[in-house]
Amino acid sequence: ALSGVLSKLGRKDENPYPPINLLADFAGGGVMCAMGIVIALYERSTSGRGQIVDASMVKGVAYLSSFLWKSQNLGFWSRPRGENLLDTGAPFYEVYKTSDGKFMAVGALEPQFYEQFIKGLGLSSDELPAQMSTSDWPKMKKKFASIFAQKTQAEWCSIFDGIDACVTPVLSFDDVASHQHNKQRGSFIKNDQGEISPRPAPLLSRTPAVPSSPLLSRTPAVPSCKRDPFIGEHTEEILLEYGFTKEEIGKLHSNEVIGFSKPKANL
């Protein structure tokens, strides 16, 4: 909200939509902080000196929104919220409901993709207003919505399969891991408890992540398929690895400086 970004999120005549907590907590906060740490470590390799990383969620989200600021005078954001090119104002950058209550996402911005999108709907560009005729967008959106409502999500997937129209199904968490694209890319992994989660990204070709702790396997980098650790589960092992004695660890625990996942530590 303080970064200004929230004022841009939402549909016409509705309240701004909070983007869960992905923008501030994770993108503007966590990712920006991690990037700052990496930059500081890289600089240390030449200077040999450390420094403070000033990471703020508000500043991080504001910086993430640089595109919005820099494109204000290009016509992208000249209209009120929900009436612009990328904020559900455009009928070709929208989410549509299918006959079975599911959804299809459309991102056919470029003319070549838009043309394929129109054909997939069974329409011809000759019978429609110009793609960028903003005054006709509400009417076009209603027309597209009525067409999408006539078929199931599976039927639309079949129609747009292999076509460069930027039309894709909105997948639920239950369906995402079994989707062909994600299966081929190995985008999701399953742990030994059967829980599915996203595979760590990005993946480096020459130096993939390799477990560095002796507690973990030294095999080539494959994401761990073990369950997530409990908070404090490996406190003792890690402190021993870093040179603390069992007596020092016991004192830290008794002074409530550190915690363990079990009522009694194995000291």
Rounded Cα–Cα distance for residues 253 and 19 (Å):
39
Q: pLDDT digit string (tens) for 80-97? A: 999 999 999 999 999 999
Q: Is residue 211 part of a domain?
A: no
Q: Is residue 66 part of a domain?
A: yes
Same domain, 66 and 97: no
Plot region of 20 (φ>0 → left; ψ -120 to 50 → alpha; else → beta): left
Residue 216 is predicted with a pLDDT of 42
Can you give the residue range of the structural domain that contains 32?
5-71
Asked if the structure places residue 177 within a domain, the reply is: no
- Is residue 60 included in any domain, yes or no? yes
107 plus 155 within the same structural domain: yes
Does residue 190 belong to any structural domain of this protein? no
pLDDT band at residue 143 under the 50/70/90 scheme: very high
3 state SS of 70 = helix
51 HSE (CA, 13 A, CB side): 17
Q: Is the pTM of this model over 0.95?
A: no
Establish whether 25 is a catalytic residue.
yes
Same domain? For 98 and 152 the reply is yes
* Tens of pLDDT, residues 69-82: 999 888 888 899 99
119 and 60 in a common domain: no
Of 14, 36, 71, the last residue of a domain is 71
128 located within any domain: yes
Is 88 within a domain? no
For residue 13, give the H/E element and its range.
none
Q: Is residue 188 part of a domain?
A: no
Which of 25, 126, 136, 175 is catalytic? The answer is 25
Q: Which CATH number belongs to the domain containing residue 152 in this structure?
A: 3.30.1540.10
Q: In the chain, how many domains are there?
A: 3
